[in-house]
Chains A and B, each alone.
Chain A
Amino acid sequence: MNVVSPIKPRTAKDFATDQEVRWCPGCGDYAILKAVQKMLADVDADPAATVFVSGIGCSSRFPYYMATYGFHTIHGRAPTVATGVKLVNPELDVWVVTGDGDALSIGGNHLLHVLRRNVDLQILLFNNEIYGLTKGQYSPTSRTGTRSPTSPTGSVERPVSPIGFALGAGGRFVARSIDTMQKHLVDVLKQARAHRGASFVEIFQNCIVYNDAVFAGFTERDVADANQILLQDGKPMIFGAKGSRGLRLVPGKLEIEAVTIGENGVSVADLLVHDATNRPLAGLLAAMQPPALPMALGVLYCDPAMALGSAVHAGLGERQAPPSADELNALLRRGDTWTVSA
């Protein structure tokens, strides 16, 4: 496809539409929108070759605000529509935008299979631990005890971990970030985009109306250092104010503990070194919960494998062009035929 390159490099603004953004003032979705637009500008993405596919929910309004191709589909089914798009045109850069209800309630089955199949998409799950669009009912990621119109005395169900789900489903790129961490989020999104295969990114998103401050325990400025760790592949797992804390394996156990560097003879050399290709490690990191352990952010797991589209195209020698009339005539005449003469 011919792409006309613009004279000036694109800016975030070039990815914004003239649609009036309808999220509640203060909603975390604004920040994510900004990050996505900036990221696409940074990598000089081609808007004509970029597609955003979403389900239903506040978060799923996202495509309307992107000056790319966009398809706002039906509740929970965005991964399946995106799969069809990608299999037909592997050249397209296809993004799925979904919420925690959209992806893990009604669409749980599809999320499982799109990850298992490793379709080359970026899946952004905006996790606000609540159903926003339908006015605040508890969701499959809501913590036990969440009060909502359908759980007035507090929900009794146990939440699912999106990251744990993605790893369990066989996701080959699993990452996490926060709406308000612009730089970090842009960086994670770039890595997701560069990854061939399904890239899954959970983004903690504050719903200021129905679930405000639910992530404050690790996102607020005063606790962030203590309760977050920004993972970097190949680097020791250091966090805390001035890098004073670290993570290591409890000796003799498959269990992570937080330690203070320089205390009890612990040095940086004792710390775990992040290895994004280590799946069991990703599982341990995914399970970490503040305040006992910091929330793991960044790319928890990245180990590329053949993506579905390419597997189909390579493995079966599938071609794009429709069959010729000759080929079809041959097909119709295969096997036993006979002639009736006049």
Chain B
Amino acid sequence: MRTSTLPTPEASLSDARQPLESVVVRFAGDSGDGIQLTGNRFAAVTALAGNDLTTFPDFPAEIRAPVGTTYGVSAFQINFGARAVKTSGDAPDVLVALNPAALKVELGRLKPGGIVIVDSGAFNERSLRKAGYAADPLNDGSLASYRLIAIDISKMTLETVKPLGVSQHDALRCKNIWTLGLVYWMFGRDRKPTADWLKKRFADSPLIASGNIAALDAGHAFGETAELSGDIPGYSVAPASLDPGLYRTITGGEALAWGLVAGAHLAGLKLFFASYPITPASPLLHALTSLRRLGVSTFQAEDEIAAVCAAIGASYAGAMGVTSSSGPGLALKGEALGLAVAAELPLVVVNTQRAGPSTGLPTKTEQSDLMQALFGRHGESPLAVLAASGSSDCFETAIEAVRIATRYMIPVIVLSDGYIANAAQPWRVPDITALSPFPVEFRTDPKGFAPYARDAATLARPWAIPGTPGLEHRIGGLEKDQLTGAISYDPANHQQMSDTRAEKLDRIALDIPLQTVETGRGEGRLAVVGWGSTHGPISRAVVSLVERGYDVAHIHLRHLSPLPPNLGELLRRYETVLVPEMNKGQLVQLLRAQYLVPAEGLNKISGQPFKIAEIEAAILARLGS
């Protein structure tokens, strides 16, 4: 099922509000127009109204682009519905463009026949020229295939707010909230939570707060009045059927931060996080830094090498050492990861992937570091690799990473990406006391202690931290004797140690869930296999095709190293395996090499997430429609 195009106003007149199953709204304007704030407020009330949703903020790459330019356009997209919503939506049904540049940049995304709401007051000769328009698109017929709602929002906002005694400049800044009021009316949203929020946000300047609230009410009233003439359609989107519980919205960055803290709590360890700023990984550093009062240590290192090494030092000293970066930074950490593998210390490394190579498209998303995570090191240096499939999944993935790292004394790489890091989804808030703890036991008994004696089940060596009397020992990157840890150049010992380091992954494989099929049958014509943030579009595409009777299944991997032990056998039960990835085909290579299955890739590397339609089309091309 695809999101339906919005019906015409004639249809909406017959009934007070036209019910819709799901809608995509995109807010766009100049960086200074408060677009992110507007979008986030809309998301908050939409969540409160019980819809499922996914949001995606689309910031300009420039920090402060000149006003009115196309490269200074900031956008925020939200997909919400009465059914499960897995992506921020292929194409908007409604586009709000607060200036000509926003219209210019964003119009191409809008669905044919979609609604475009513009602030006609922001369209003048100068702003049109800045946006690169030769003629005024509001008058030259170029918007004929859309439903244009042109309102002089600037003027209406000024008329409402200025009389309260607000300056012209400040009054005009309320126009995003006026627009929000109008969109609230269109979708029957409650204004009260936003009014309360505005009061809190502008607690220091009550005049600005009341100006914004007046604008919100005025935009809403405008919709109400216009309804009578049928100019502005009203819709209703029923609550989605979510599992009962307490919910909030959460971005991938937040979920990772909280998952790491929760993981350290379950392990009974202090969390030590070291990082060096890089887009789009910095939100994690910011989020964890704000948790210092909860005993989280954060350290902004001089570079990525220092960050990973400080985390290794922290783990050596008995904390849960964590570091994070994006692709270029992971490359810098490579040598130290070899040390962590050799020293056999727990370590979690988060890689929020972005489009590469080199600086690439730093603000755009990609999944092109899988091979780097799996193999991008010197020597044979096996480690565990996990991937989060969405914003809320980051929480559990982070906990799983801490569990594996501490139980097996091994580094774990967690793959996220620019899309997941910033996208927000509703999340059923877990009760921490209901999660299973995995407390770490440091070695304290000197009797029979050997630094590389291993646990029979996990092959983990003892974690013996400095400060423990009687366990003084030396470790390092040189090959070590398989028991005493003393430097050893013995050929048989190196073979044995290399085999053991690899075998640890086999042991982890026995300790992770068997791979399940998320949608569809456990055998059949086609399995779509994904990892990471392709989860949203794959899941939506496969769910609708299964509903339409197609024989297709969705398998999504969280564990990429080691792979679940039943995966090969599972994949062989399908005639065709299709692997959509935002790279040139990395997982597909691995699956073919590992299992000799004829997996095919579906590859997109444009810096943009997959559209549901693209995946549907690829599936149908293989199944025949």
**Residue contact A81 to B249, C-beta cutoff 8 Å:** no
With contact pairs A49-B466, A74-B336, A341-B244 given, residues A332 and B473 touching in the complex (Cβ less than 8 Å): no
Complexed CA–CA distance, A197 and B44 (Å): 48
**Residue contact B299 to A87, C-beta cutoff 8 Å:** yes
CB closest residue in chain A, given B473:
A69
**Residue contact B44 to A336, C-beta cutoff 8 Å:** yes
The residues of A that contact B510 with a CB separation of less than 8 Å are none
Interface of B is mostly: mixed
**Residue contact B50 to A340, C-beta cutoff 8 Å:** yes
User: Does A109 count as interface, using CB distance less than 8 angstroms?
Assistant: yes
**Residue contact B294 to A48, C-beta cutoff 8 Å:** no
User: Does B415 count as interface, using CB distance less than 8 angstroms?
Assistant: no
The residues of B that contact A112 with a CB separation of less than 8 Å are 302
The residues of B that contact A2 with a CB separation of less than 8 Å are 469
CB closest residue in chain B, given A328:
B432
CB distance from A276 to the nearest CB of B (A): 28
With contact pairs A331-B291, A332-B429 given, residues A113 and B474 touching in the complex (Cβ less than 8 Å): no
The residues of B that contact A320 with a CB separation of less than 8 Å are 270, 295
Complexed CA–CA distance, A66 and B274 (Å): 29
Return the CB mask of B256-272 against A: 1 if under 8 Å, else 0.
00100110110011111
Residue among B48, B243, B294 with most chain A CB within 10 A:
B294
9 closest Cβ pairs, A-B complex: A84-B313, A72-B476, A84-B310, A70-B474, A80-B309, A81-B313, A69-B466, A323-B294, A84-B314
22 A–B contact pairs at CB < 8 A?
A17-B474, A48-B470, A48-B471, A70-B473, A71-B476, A72-B474, A73-B476, A74-B339, A77-B306, A80-B310, A80-B313, A81-B312, A84-B313, A84-B316, A87-B297, A88-B270, A88-B319, A325-B433, A331-B258, A332-B430, A339-B246, A339-B247
User: Does A318 count as interface, using CB distance less than 8 angstroms?
Assistant: yes
**Residue contact A325 to B265, C-beta cutoff 8 Å:** yes
Residue among A56, A91, A316, A323 with most chain B CB within 10 A:
A323
**Residue contact A72 to B478, C-beta cutoff 8 Å:** yes
The residues of B that contact A336 with a CB separation of less than 8 Å are 44, 47-48, 193, 248-249
Complexed CA–CA distance, A71 and B339 (Å): 11
User: Does A329 count as interface, using CB distance less than 8 angstroms?
Assistant: yes
**Residue contact B466 to A48, C-beta cutoff 8 Å:** yes
With contact pairs A48-B467, A91-B467 given, residues A340 and B297 touching in the complex (Cβ less than 8 Å): no
**Residue contact A68 to B467, C-beta cutoff 8 Å:** no
User: Does A83 count as interface, using CB distance less than 8 angstroms?
Assistant: yes
CB distance from A72 to the nearest CB of B (A): 3
**Residue contact B246 to A337, C-beta cutoff 8 Å:** yes
User: Does A3 count as interface, using CB distance less than 8 angstroms?
Assistant: yes
**Residue contact B313 to A85, C-beta cutoff 8 Å:** yes
Residue ranges of B at the interface with A (Cβ–Cβ < 8 Å): 44, 47-48, 50, 193, 242-249, 258, 261-262, 264-265, 268-272, 274, 291-297, 299, 301-303, 305-307, 309-319, 321, 335-336, 338-339, 343, 429-433, 465-478, 486-487
User: Does A242 count as interface, using CB distance less than 8 angstroms?
Assistant: no
User: Does A312 count as interface, using CB distance less than 8 angstroms?
Assistant: yes
* Total A-B Cβ pairs within 8 A: 218
User: Does A134 count as interface, using CB distance less than 8 angstroms?
Assistant: no
With contact pairs A70-B475, A74-B339 given, residues A329 and B431 touching in the complex (Cβ less than 8 Å): yes
Known contacts A322-B271, A325-B432; 16 further A-B pairs (Cβ under 8 A): A1-B468, A48-B471, A64-B486, A70-B474, A80-B313, A81-B313, A84-B312, A85-B313, A87-B314, A316-B293, A320-B295, A322-B268, A322-B294, A328-B432, A331-B261, A333-B429
CB distance from A60 to the nearest CB of B (A): 9
Complexed CA–CA distance, A19 and B484 (Å): 12
**Residue contact B310 to A87, C-beta cutoff 8 Å:** yes
User: Does A82 count as interface, using CB distance less than 8 angstroms?
Assistant: yes
The residues of A that contact B313 with a CB separation of less than 8 Å are 53, 71, 80-86, 88
**Residue contact A74 to B466, C-beta cutoff 8 Å:** no
**Residue contact B335 to A88, C-beta cutoff 8 Å:** no
Count, chain A residues at interface, CB 8 A:
67
- Contact residues of A between 45 and 66, Cβ < 8 Å to B: 46-51, 53, 56, 63-64, 66
**Residue contact A84 to B317, C-beta cutoff 8 Å:** yes
CB distance from A82 to the nearest CB of B (A): 6
**Residue contact B294 to A331, C-beta cutoff 8 Å:** yes
User: Does A186 count as interface, using CB distance less than 8 angstroms?
Assistant: no
CB distance from B313 to the nearest CB of A (A): 3
- Contact residues of A between 287 and 342, Cβ < 8 Å to B: 312, 316-325, 327-329, 331-333, 335-342
Residue among B264, B471, B474 with most chain A CB within 10 A:
B474
CB closest residue in chain B, given A337:
B248
**Residue contact B306 to A113, C-beta cutoff 8 Å:** yes
CB distance from A15 to the nearest CB of B (A): 10
**Residue contact B261 to A328, C-beta cutoff 8 Å:** yes
Complexed CA–CA distance, A317 and B297 (Å): 11
**Residue contact B470 to A332, C-beta cutoff 8 Å:** no
The residues of B that contact A71 with a CB separation of less than 8 Å are 313, 316, 343, 474-476
Complexed CA–CA distance, A2 and B305 (Å): 34
CB closest residue in chain B, given A334:
B248
CB distance from B357 to the nearest CB of A (A): 24
Return the CB mask of A6-20 against B: 1 if under 8 Å, else 0.
000000000001010
The residues of B that contact A51 with a CB separation of less than 8 Å are 466
CB distance from A178 to the nearest CB of B (A): 27
**Residue contact A321 to B295, C-beta cutoff 8 Å:** yes
Return the CB mask of A122-145 against B: 1 if under 8 Å, else 0.
000000000000000000000000
The residues of A that contact B314 with a CB separation of less than 8 Å are 84-85, 87-88
CB closest residue in chain A, given B49:
A338
Complexed CA–CA distance, A17 and B472 (Å): 10
User: Does A110 count as interface, using CB distance less than 8 angstroms?
Assistant: yes
The residues of B that contact A319 with a CB separation of less than 8 Å are 293, 295
- Contact residues of A between 96 and 130, Cβ < 8 Å to B: 109-110, 112-113
User: Does A67 count as interface, using CB distance less than 8 angstroms?
Assistant: yes
Partner pick for B306 among A80, A91, A339, CB 8 A cutoff: A80
The residues of A that contact B249 with a CB separation of less than 8 Å are 336
Complexed CA–CA distance, A73 and B339 (Å): 7
Complexed CA–CA distance, A285 and B292 (Å): 42
**Residue contact A329 to B317, C-beta cutoff 8 Å:** no
CB distance from B155 to the nearest CB of A (A): 32
User: Does A4 count as interface, using CB distance less than 8 angstroms?
Assistant: yes
User: Does A89 count as interface, using CB distance less than 8 angstroms?
Assistant: yes
The residues of B that contact A91 with a CB separation of less than 8 Å are 467
Partner pick for B258 among A3, A86, A332, A335, CB 8 A cutoff: A332
Return the CB mask of A185-216 against B: 1 if under 8 Å, else 0.
00000000000000000000000000000000
CB closest residue in chain A, given B475:
A71
Complexed CA–CA distance, A67 and B258 (Å): 40
Complexed CA–CA distance, A335 and B47 (Å): 13
**Residue contact B467 to A92, C-beta cutoff 8 Å:** yes
**Residue contact B248 to A48, C-beta cutoff 8 Å:** no
Complexed CA–CA distance, A107 and B371 (Å): 28
The residues of A that contact B335 with a CB separation of less than 8 Å are 74
**Residue contact B467 to A328, C-beta cutoff 8 Å:** no
Partner pick for B477 among A66, A74, A327, CB 8 A cutoff: A74
**Residue contact B309 to A338, C-beta cutoff 8 Å:** no
The residues of A that contact B469 with a CB separation of less than 8 Å are 1-4, 46, 48
With contact pairs A84-B317, A312-B297, A322-B270 given, residues A63 and B292 touching in the complex (Cβ less than 8 Å): no
Complexed CA–CA distance, A342 and B247 (Å): 13
**Residue contact A329 to B316, C-beta cutoff 8 Å:** no
- Contact residues of A between 17 and 40, Cβ < 8 Å to B: 17, 19
Complexed CA–CA distance, A328 and B261 (Å): 8
Partner pick for A318 among B48, B243, B297, B321, CB 8 A cutoff: B297
Complexed CA–CA distance, A48 and B473 (Å): 9
**Residue contact A337 to B247, C-beta cutoff 8 Å:** yes
The residues of B that contact A47 with a CB separation of less than 8 Å are 472
**Residue contact B310 to A340, C-beta cutoff 8 Å:** no
The residues of A that contact B297 with a CB separation of less than 8 Å are 87-88, 312, 318
**Residue contact A338 to B305, C-beta cutoff 8 Å:** no
CB closest residue in chain A, given B395:
A332
